[in-house]
Amino acid sequence: MSVVRLEVDGGIGTIRLDRPPMNALDSTVAAELRTAAVEATRRSDVRAVVLYGGEKVFAAGADIRQMAPMGYAEVSTWVGDLNSTFEVVARIPKPVVAAVTGYALGGGLELALCADVRVLAEDARVGQPEILLGVIPGAGGTQRLPRLIGPSRAKDLIFSGRQVRAAEAAEIGLADAVVPAGEVYVQAKRIAGRYTNGPAMALAAAKQAVDDGAEIALAEALRLEAALFAGLFATEDRRIGMESFLESGPGKADFIGR
């Protein structure tokens, strides 16, 4: 049976992890997660994405039973594949919301960091506990986490391996919303739903500008932004949006995603 599936409803594609009891990340999960992310990217009826592990747990980290016997060569391939998969998720050219219940630890938090927005349950716990195993985060934790919450706070979590409750996660910018556990998925879909009728190509360009611009010098980033801006003048949604603005004012355009 599939341990990761893509479910589409009303323009929202839910990438659902389903490997009970803790959604531990092994090579099968990584392979199927990549497939689901590629499909969500390709499908025109998917306008926004939710990452979800179910009502009990998002993902409690890598499968240590699979990893423990590995040597250098094996783990290099394994972590390379996981990193590549997470990059595919992070590069989905659509708004992505992580709906975090229970635990998002280690690779689970690294997966949540690939999203644009994170919604946490009030009782959720997140962290990078790899140091407690004698290793470090290997799938984005030392890179995406400090870019999100700053180097000092990231080092605190990575050096200590401690678990962070939802309230603190919100305080340090790791969570964008904290809601009761039973409302996490609904709230994540509500946020994703804000974008399903938006200009798909402009949303993709905005995401690329922010994500890629953060990795390069300001002058180069400004050139990237200008090029992406100009490119949108070749889209139908740009024409629709500007004509609608001139005729009816802002916020009334019916975009078609092209």
- Give 84-118 pLDDT, tens digit per residue: 999 999 999 999 999 999 999 999 999 999 999 99
Q: What is the CATH number of the domain that holds 81?
A: 3.90.226.10
Mark whether 125 and 226 lie in a shared domain. no
70 lies in some domain: yes
**Based on the structure, what is the number of domains in the chain?**
2
Mark whether 67 and 170 lie in a shared domain. yes
255 lies in some domain: no
User: Catalytic positions, please?
Assistant: 62, 107, 110, 130
pLDDT tens digit string along 209-232? 999 999 999 999 999 999 999 999
pLDDT tens digit string along 49-77? 999 999 999 999 888 988 999 999 999 99
Q: How confident is the model at residue 1 (pLDDT cuts 50, 70, 90)?
A: confident
Mark whether 183 and 207 lie in a shared domain. no
Among the listed residues 136, 126, 175, the one whose alpha carbon sits nearest the alpha carbon of residue 159: 136
- pLDDT of 229 reads 97
Contact assessment for residue 27 and residue 71, using Cβ atoms and an 8 Å cutoff: no
Nearest-angstrom CA–CA distance, 153 and 127: 12
Mark whether 121 and 169 lie in a shared domain. yes
Tokens of 116: 């644009």
66 lies in some domain: yes
Mark whether 169 and 48 lie in a shared domain. yes
What is the reported pTM?
0.95
Mark whether 76 and 181 lie in a shared domain. yes
| Mean pLDDT across 141-147 | 97
Q: What are residue 52's DSSP bridge partners?
A: 16, 99
Domain residue limits at 218: 200-248
34 lies in some domain: yes
Mark whether 176 and 211 lie in a shared domain. no
> Edge-to-edge strand order for the sheet containing 103-105?
103-105, 125-127, 163-165
Mark whether 109 and 228 lie in a shared domain. no
238 lies in some domain: yes
